[in-house]
Amino acid sequence: MTQQTPIIQPPTIQPIRIFDTTLRDGEQSPGVALNHTQKLEIAHQLARLGVDVIEAGFPIASPGDLEGVSRIAREVRGPIIAGLARANRADIEAAAKAVELAERPRIHTFIATSPIHMAKKLNMEPGAVVERAIEAVRLARTFVDDVEFSAEDATRSEWPFLAHIFKATVEAGATTINVPDTVGYTTPEEMRALFAFLKGELPDHVILSAHCHDDLGMAVANSIAAAQGGARQIECTINGIGERAGNAALEEIVMAFHTRKDHYGFETAIRTREIYRASRMVSRLSGMPVQPNKGVVGDNAFAHESGIHQDGVIKARETYEIMNAELVGREAAVLVMGKHSGRAAFRKALTDLGYDVAEDRIKEMFARFKDLADRKGQIYADDLRALVDSRTDIPQTFVLEKFQITSGTDMQPLAYVRVTTPDGPREATSSGDGAVEAIFHALNKVTGIAPELEVYRVQAVTKGTEALGEVSVNTRYGEISIHGTGVAPDVVEASARAWLRVINQIVAGMGKSRQISQTTV
């Protein structure tokens, strides 16, 4: 008797909502301080990416945070715009004010539910926690129709108590129930079982959501397991940034569902070709570089050095690549651009890379492109990305005209700078322990502003000895945290551009001050 091969039916495809919290939980990463303009730029990119929900911030944190969320609510269309609020009147009213002009507003309120949090942090009895949650959801529903409730530290909470508080908040008006693995404690098996349990306890119309942290390196696996258990919304961040070890990485979850749709049976509304652009933007503005070996967006994600791998890829790319670079917005081919390229070709190259640049900015960028081509020769796709991503998005009170470094083995480096100011050109010289410190001191002298350097990073934008250098600085000026980046073939010039970007933000009042501690979900 011939044995028949069993027929495996493909899974029914289920939609998964992507809730992006880069601007809220992601911004709580140590050293990250985004100003309003930067947050708005990221929010517009998240809308282009196709996320379902943008958690724009924690409005009660400071007047600046409230205004930042309000600006996103006013200007970004498409995704739901959510504001986070603890389970109290002041927080909820601030969140309501912040999102009131959104096309699709949401209030996301939470309270801790684990025994250790209720006893040690809240100093509340479980019954009082439930009552506080009910009151918070009811109040939020007086402002918006879309209310999400989260049980902080849910994965260390008692399951019967979770079911009880979730049922109570759903009856009070919550439309989405979020289950956070706040401290990255759980495992995929536990997560899947927890969601299967909650799905059986709650009404079918309720959207279950997962929010996972990466303390044990399992945030993406736990998020996928939650979806297998019944979650239909996943909360994540670009590049997986977030406090401590970070959050579940949006790009890894989305591409896992996309690449293995045959296995998982899930799909998202994400436009995958915008993923790499979003990753680079968040890395540049947050000052957090992406590790080279990171999945999907790391520099080495589509690189092959092994001879065996190279041979296989040359013969058939799918031998060692389960997805192609173009699928996530990374062009595999080199753009043939150089000093002889015209403005029309330059504009087309930007369009091919997915950039929609206003005509009045093309002239400025083309001038920088020609200068770069004269100095560097062949221009690669990532060079053009860096050129666009480093465009001026703040008022240019001070502009670097010229600089020169004098140094040697037996002398302290001396920097000369010439800067355009509102009062005309100014010049200054200063010394330092190194060329970078010397040029920072010279710029401080010529502008009269001296930020304090906290973090300095430099990385190559492209490969080779002629690669562009990208410098990222995190600074403090009084109580304000300010981040700046600069791109140039010369690292000292890139450092000077990053430092001037910080100084121009200080002059424009675009730094960020945190008035109260951020709160995590």
Mapping DSSP onto H, E and C, the string for 108-155 reads: EEEEECCHHHHHHHHCCCHHHHHHHHHHHHHHHHCCCCCEEEEEECHH
For the annotated binding site for Mn(2+), the residues are 25, 211, 213, 247
pLDDT for the residue 250 = 98
Which of the listed ranges 300-309, 328-337, 362-371, 484-493 does the model predict with the highest average pLDDT? 484-493
Residues of the chain with pLDDT > 70: what percent? 88
- Please say if the pLDDT value at position 284 is more than 70: yes
Higher pLDDT, 154 or 518: 154
**Which pLDDT value is given to residue 512?**
55
Q: How confident is the model at residue 398 (pLDDT cuts 50, 70, 90)?
A: very high
Query: Looking at the whole model, is its pTM more than 0.85?
Result: no
Q: CB of 104 within 8 A of CB of 80? A: yes
Structure tokens at 323: 């997805």
User: Residues near 300 by Cβ (< 8 Å), separated by ≥ 6?
Assistant: 292, 293
Known binding-site residue numbers: 25, 211, 213, 247
216-232: per-residue pLDDT in tens? 999 999 999 999 999 99
Whether the predicted pLDDT of 402 surpasses 70:
yes
> Which of 50-54, 77-81, 120-124, 286-290 is predicted least confidently?
286-290
What is the mean predicted confidence (pLDDT) over 396-413?
A: 88
Average pLDDT, integer, range 260-268: 96
More confident residue, 41 or 378: 41
- H/E run at residue 91: helix 89-99
Burial 465-489 (b: 16+ CB within 10 A, else e): eebbbbbbbbbebeebbbbbbbbbb
Residue 477, beta-bridge partner list:
480
pLDDT tens digits, one per residue of 41-82: 999 999 999 999 999 999 999 998 999 999 999 999 999 999
pLDDT of 198 reads 98
pLDDT for res 5 = 59
Task: Report residue 516's pLDDT band, with 50, 70 and 90 as the boundaries.
Answer: very low
| Mean pLDDT of the 246-271 span | 97
Residue-range domains of the chain with CATH: 14-286 (3.20.20.70), 307-389 (1.10.238), 399-508 (3.30.160.270)
Q: Rounded mean pLDDT of 15-31?
A: 93
Residue 378: band (very low, low, confident or very high) from pLDDT cuts 50, 70, 90: low
Pair 247, 213: CB distance under 8 Å: yes
Residue 15 or 345, more confident: 15
Higher pLDDT, 187 or 389: 187
Averaged pLDDT for residues 88-99: 98
| pLDDT of amino acid 479 | 83
- Mean pLDDT, the chain, rounded, equals 88
pLDDT tens, 345-377? 788 778 877 777 878 778 878 887 887 777 666
Give the pair of three-digit tokens for residue 181. 């693995």
Give the residue with greater pLDDT, 473 vs 300: 473
% of the chain with per-residue pLDDT over 90: 64
- C-beta neighbour count of 314 within 10 angstroms: 10
